[in-house]
Structure 1
Amino acid sequence: MPNKITHPLKALLSPWLTSTEFSSALISGMTLDSRHVKKGDLFVALQGALLDGRLFIEKAITAGACVVLSETKQADKHALISHQNDVMIIHFYQLSKILSELAYRFYFPEQDCHKVIAITGTNGKTTIASLLANSLTLLNQKSAQMGTIGNGLFGELSSSLNTTLDALSIFACLNDYQWQGAKYTLMEVSSHGLIQGRVSALPFHSAIFTNLSRDHLDYHGTMQAYADAKKILFDEFPIEQRIINLDDKIGATWLAEYSDAISYSAKGNKTPSHRYLAVSDVHYQAKGLTFEFNSSWGDGKISAPFYGDFNVANLAAVITQLLVDGFYITEIEKIIPLLDPVAGRMEQYNFSAKKTTFVVDYAHTPDALEKALVALKKHTKSGRLTCVFGCGGDRDKGKRPEMAKVAEAFADRVILVDDNPRTESASQIMNDILLGFKQPELVDCIHDRKEAIVKLLKQSQDNDLILVAGKGHEDYQIMGNLRIDYSDRVLLVSLQLLENQKANL
């Protein structure tokens, strides 16, 4: 049964507004979406970049909203109250700026939120969040996660359209997880979410910075602006623990600014002025990797069922957070080998008849693609390494030739496919990518992802390794304005079943 909340409007709005009209109003829910309004809800009508929530006030009232907060851009209209069908409409100047605090006051009026750990950076957020949630669960600490692959208690995720949800949804979810007994939530925090203030009122327990490489320049404009957006998390929040990747250039710069920060390194680096974890003696094996580490908490040895240097870095971040929170090295050494693969993150699909392995990964930036290909090279003793990728439409066009350069440098063969073309021409996107190749004539262009994967399986040779990049966990493609059902992972599972059926005939 759901956790019921009823909050007096007067108390909810007291930091910003007071009125005798508020005294009798009770709020039992909050929403930004008129389609989700229930009787007794407070409807929040924001003036968004794409939609003006004020256009849906009448619909929200019809659905049962008992009060409406309507954003105004005019300071002189702040606190004005009007009525529609006996429902109070409160005009609020720059409402979006206080929405996070409003949500926190509503969902956590009398108790503190459980421990929320923020993970930010260009790459690794989803993997670190998932592995931490998994690790904490194995350590008998019920955990939830919020991010790219979904939101919910560990192992019970529901899909999400955005890495970081809107402010109301964030606190509604956190309240629900706490009610279900969660001790931790692992939250991927995007640069968009930080800039737009979606988490501005959240008292994070820890923040982990992974790295910074080219992405989202269509939104931020420059790498400096992108870095500044990420740094908001470390500068403007009362975080108990700042955990930062020393191997990243930006991370090393930030560490110099925070004397209380904790560094982690997959390359054995450490700084004398910070608590630290440093990895050494990494070995790459057919089905995983091993490494040792020394740290401010002692030394340990790790065996893990994952591929690549970047997963060494991801595990280093995970282990550092666990050590900081007081878990013993002996406990950590026992649970790391038990961790599950992360959906769409270097997931392996083996075809024994062909002696071929497909690996599905979300890599959709030049840096992520390079890391994935370099990782697979280290685990490949023989056979060809093929890279299958595309680029999204209506997004940063500058990275398209950069992705091509990476694929050509590190793969033996490259196949271009469609990613999410959106409203751009799929052919034009491919042409933009082809400009980055020195030998474009050696690149195969097959728009249909299924056709490309089936063809590669038929043509594969012993010990071939095929990276299918870009979509990862996603179960759709966006063509024009249509969202079409499609999953690399589902397709490969069906091809595995087909192979097994043929083998049993």
Structure 2
Amino acid sequence: MMPNKLIHPVTELLSPWLTLPNSVSLSVTGMTLDSRHVKQDDLFIALQGALLDGRQFIGNAISLGAGMVLSETKNAQEHGNISYDKDVAIVHFYQLQKALSALAYRFYFPAEDCHKVIAITGTNGKTTIASLLANSLTLLNQTSAQMGTIGNGLFGQLTSSLNTTLDALSVFSCLNNYQWQGAKYTLMEVSSHGLVQGRVSALPFHSAIFTNLTRDHLDYHGTMQEYADAKKRLFNEFPIQQRIINLDDEIGATWLSDYPDAISYSATGKKTLSHRYVTITNIHYLAQGLSFEFDSSWGAGKIDAPFYGDFNVSNLAAVITQLLCENFSIQDIEKTLPLLDTVAGRMEQYIFPARETTFVVDYAHTPDALQKALVALKKHTKMGRLICIFGCGGDRDKGKRPEMAKVAEAFADKVILVDDNPRTEPAAQIMDDILAGFKHPERVDCIHDRKTAITELLNSVQKNYLILVAGKGHEDYQIIGEKRIDYSDRVLLASLQLLENKKADL
């Protein structure tokens, strides 16, 4: 199905905020924040951003054919003032940033409601839950899209994204596109940044899932309380029909008391008497994945799934809860979950049979996520050793660096430090900050280049090693200084795997 052609008279489009004179009577066919992307008769949005002032690019937008410009002003008295450049109206708009989400929704969904959008928020698990839900719904014949860290698009057709939550215009442009491709659901990772900055403020979410809250983004939010408050906006400020909350998380358990209509999920057998629930019991850790039973307000079932670790039990509990809320039967869920694909860069295995060694690539980049990944893999090492390769990002929360070290030292048999997007900080300084958290830093290997660390380790390991390569997951770049350099743990390990297989065939 081809997308519909959007044509909006600006007087009607802007009527909730402005009354325009009859002289401004044109219709616009698109909206953009980037003057380089302006097409004929587009509405150019000139925001006063933290890094760039969009008003500096108004002239360029007009030269490319913009039909009208909305220019953000910080002065309430200037709201609605109109100036002209080459007969193009420049309308001054007070607090345009705050109105942008509602303006975008009004533009991209003028005549019909948006399909069901399910929001997933929390520190860890967002990407996995979004991917597994999109996969599950697709297998259940419900065309589904996904928006978040590993990309945006219909399930299986993702294109990469720089931000977990896109800007307000892109959010609704994508949702409009998915709807015209037949999507019944979009699974959207919603970041704390996106909530605070109002990128999704006008989106009528159908459902919201809270995973957990652990230390992250304190360079932005300042305190854990402010971080938690940012996440809670999703549950307080939107017309959510289903609030699904992790009972095993301390913050989640507190929030449940605030929402009598919420649904709880637990991977540890917990349930609340006052809420609908899904709770997991009788977990078995198998070579092929996981097996467990669940009890719920909808009935009981048994699940086999090709995943590893307690955190994936929790992720699957969230998936089961959402599917039950959507009235899928327990029998359909039991048939569907064993068919799910692993998620790119999330506990993704690269097996080297001749060496009896497995590398696992995971996005774990917080102390909590790293601990959960290591604890999960420890249950699968049997007689072997567990090695952890990780680093910490530059220009980000420095406080978590020694905490990551403590986790790695406590749960891994050996630790190798590598670079992980040092950005504009000296990589050696970042490693020193991490090393400060070790009781025995002399036992830690420091190899800045990830490729060198992984290749040398592969060539030196003995049998029955399990190696966690943490931090980058799905990322296909390394940021050094201001440069974005092509690099992927996944691509490297896949190429080494291919080389090993060729040697075995000789």
Structure 2 length-normalised TM: 0.99
**1:250 and 2:251 equivalent?**
yes
Helix, strand or coil for the counterpart of 2:279?
A: strand
What is the alpha-carbon distance in structure 2 between the residues aligned to residue 240 and residue 220 of structure 1?
Answer: 28
Retained in 1: the 8 A contact 2:115–2:183? yes
Give the equivalent residue in structure 1 for 2:202. Answer: 201
What is the alpha-carbon distance in structure 2 between the residues aligned to residue 240 and residue 65 of structure 1?
Answer: 39
Helix, strand or coil for the counterpart of 1:386?
A: strand
Task: Return the letter of the residue paired with 1:94.
Answer: Q
Query: 1:219-274: CA deviations, max 9, x gaps?
Result: 00000000000000001101000000000000000000100000000000000000
Query: 1:302-326: CA deviations, max 9, x gaps?
Result: 0000010000000000000000010
CA-CA distance at 1:331 after TM superposition: 0.3
CA-CA distance at 1:107 after TM superposition: 0.2
Helix, strand or coil for the counterpart of 1:279?
A: strand
Give the equivalent residue in structure 1 for 2:153. Answer: 152
Give the equivalent residue in structure 1 for 2:265. Answer: 264
Task: Return the letter of the residue paired with 2:270.
Answer: N
Give the equivalent residue in structure 1 for 2:284. Answer: 283
Answer with 375-384 or 2-11: which moved more: 2-11
Query: 1:126-176: CA deviations, max 9, x gaps?
Result: 000000000000000000000000000000000000000000000000000
Retained in 2: the 8 A contact 1:401–1:433? yes
CA-CA distance at 1:35 after TM superposition: 1.1
Structure 2 stretches lacking a partner, 5+ long: none
What is the alpha-carbon distance in structure 2 between the residues aligned to residue 8 and residue 368 of structure 1?
Answer: 49
What is the alpha-carbon distance in structure 1 between the residues aligned to residue 9 and residue 173 of structure 2?
Answer: 17
Task: Return the letter of the residue paired with 1:468.
Answer: V
Retained in 2: the 8 A contact 1:286–1:380? no
Give the equivalent residue in structure 2 for 1:137. Answer: 138
Mapping of residues 231-242 of structure 1, within 5 Å:
231-242=232-243
CA-CA distance at 1:21 after TM superposition: 3.8
Task: Return the letter of the residue paired with 1:53.
Answer: G
Retained in 2: the 8 A contact 1:73–1:94? yes
What is the alpha-carbon distance in structure 1 between the residues aligned to residue 283 and residue 20 of structure 2?
Answer: 64
CA-CA distance at 1:436 after TM superposition: 0.2
Give the equivalent residue in structure 1 for 2:454. Answer: 453
What is the alpha-carbon distance in structure 2 between the residues aligned to residue 160 and residue 396 of structure 1?
Answer: 22
Query: 1:167-220: CA deviations, max 9, x gaps?
Result: 000000000000000000000000000000000000000000000000000000
Retained in 1: the 8 A contact 2:115–2:184? yes
Structure 1 stretches lacking a partner, 5+ long: none
What is the alpha-carbon distance in structure 2 between the residues aligned to residue 502 and residue 380 of structure 1?
Answer: 26
Give the equivalent residue in structure 2 for 1:425. Answer: 426
What is the alpha-carbon distance in structure 2 between the residues aligned to residue 325 and residue 298 of structure 1?
Answer: 14
**1:66 and 2:67 equivalent?**
yes
Retained in 2: the 8 A contact 1:114–1:178? yes
Give the equivalent residue in structure 2 for 1:503. Answer: 504
What is the alpha-carbon distance in structure 2 between the residues aligned to residue 448 and residue 63 of structure 1?
Answer: 44
What is the alpha-carbon distance in structure 2 between the residues aligned to residue 46 and residue 300 of structure 1?
Answer: 51
Retained in 1: the 8 A contact 2:24–2:89? no
Retained in 1: the 8 A contact 2:477–2:486? yes
Give the equivalent residue in structure 2 for 1:188. Answer: 189
Query: 1:446-470: CA deviations, max 9, x gaps?
Result: 0000000001111111110000000
What is the alpha-carbon distance in structure 2 between the residues aligned to residue 460 and residue 156 of structure 1?
Answer: 37
CA-CA distance at 1:3 after TM superposition: 3.3
Helix, strand or coil for the counterpart of 1:453?
A: helix
Give the equivalent residue in structure 2 for 1:218. Answer: 219
CA-CA distance at 1:2 after TM superposition: 4.1
Helix, strand or coil for the counterpart of 1:20?
A: coil
Retained in 2: the 8 A contact 1:8–1:23? no
What is the alpha-carbon distance in structure 1 between the residues aligned to residue 352 and residue 41 of structure 2?
Answer: 55
What is the alpha-carbon distance in structure 2 between the residues aligned to residue 67 and residue 338 of structure 1?
Answer: 50
Retained in 2: the 8 A contact 1:387–1:468? yes
- Cα RMSD of the aligned pairs, angstroms, is 0.7
What is the alpha-carbon distance in structure 2 between the residues aligned to residue 169 and residue 21 of structure 1?
Answer: 30
Task: Return the letter of the residue paired with 2:151.
Answer: G
Give the equivalent residue in structure 2 for 1:55. Answer: 56
Give the equivalent residue in structure 2 for 1:20. Answer: 21
Mapping of residues 293-304 of structure 1, within 5 Å:
293-304=294-305
What is the alpha-carbon distance in structure 1 between the residues aligned to residue 197 and residue 452 of structure 2?
Answer: 40
What is the alpha-carbon distance in structure 2 between the residues aligned to residue 40 and residue 182 of structure 1?
Answer: 29
CA-CA distance at 1:24 after TM superposition: 2.4
Retained in 1: the 8 A contact 2:41–2:66? yes
What is the alpha-carbon distance in structure 2 between the residues aligned to residue 400 and residue 287 of structure 1?
Answer: 33
Retained in 2: the 8 A contact 1:9–1:22? no
CA-CA distance at 1:23 after TM superposition: 5.4
Q: CA 1:21 to 1:84, structure 2 compared with 1: closer, same or farther past 3 Å?
A: farther
Helix, strand or coil for the counterpart of 1:112?
A: coil
**1:35 and 2:36 equivalent?**
yes
What is the alpha-carbon distance in structure 2 between the residues aligned to residue 23 and residue 421 of structure 1?
Answer: 50
Give the equivalent residue in structure 1 for 2:346. Answer: 345
Give the equivalent residue in structure 1 for 2:392. Answer: 391
Retained in 2: the 8 A contact 1:475–1:486? yes
Task: Return the letter of the residue paired with 1:200.
Answer: S
Retained in 2: the 8 A contact 1:357–1:464? yes
What is the alpha-carbon distance in structure 2 between the residues aligned to residue 136 and residue 193 of structure 1?
Answer: 25
**1:87 and 2:88 equivalent?**
yes
Give the equivalent residue in structure 1 for 2:410. Answer: 409
Helix, strand or coil for the counterpart of 2:283?
A: strand
Task: Return the letter of the residue paired with 1:16.
Answer: W
Helix, strand or coil for the counterpart of 1:327?
A: coil
**1:126 and 2:132 equivalent?**
no
Task: Return the letter of the residue paired with 1:145.
Answer: Q
Helix, strand or coil for the counterpart of 1:215?
A: coil
What is the alpha-carbon distance in structure 2 between the residues aligned to residue 3 and residue 249 of structure 1?
Answer: 46
Retained in 1: the 8 A contact 2:388–2:469? yes
Query: 1:323-346: CA deviations, max 9, x gaps?
Result: 001000000000101100100000
- How many positions carry a matched residue from both structures? 505
Task: Spell out structure 1 runs of 4+ moving beyond 3 A.
Answer: none
Mapping of residues 302-381 of structure 1, within 5 Å:
302-381=303-382
Task: Return the letter of the residue paired with 1:121.
Answer: G
Structure 1 length-normalised TM: 0.99
CA-CA distance at 1:381 after TM superposition: 0.9
What is the alpha-carbon distance in structure 2 between the residues aligned to residue 12 and residue 500 of structure 1?
Answer: 60
Task: Return the letter of the residue paired with 2:185.
Answer: Y
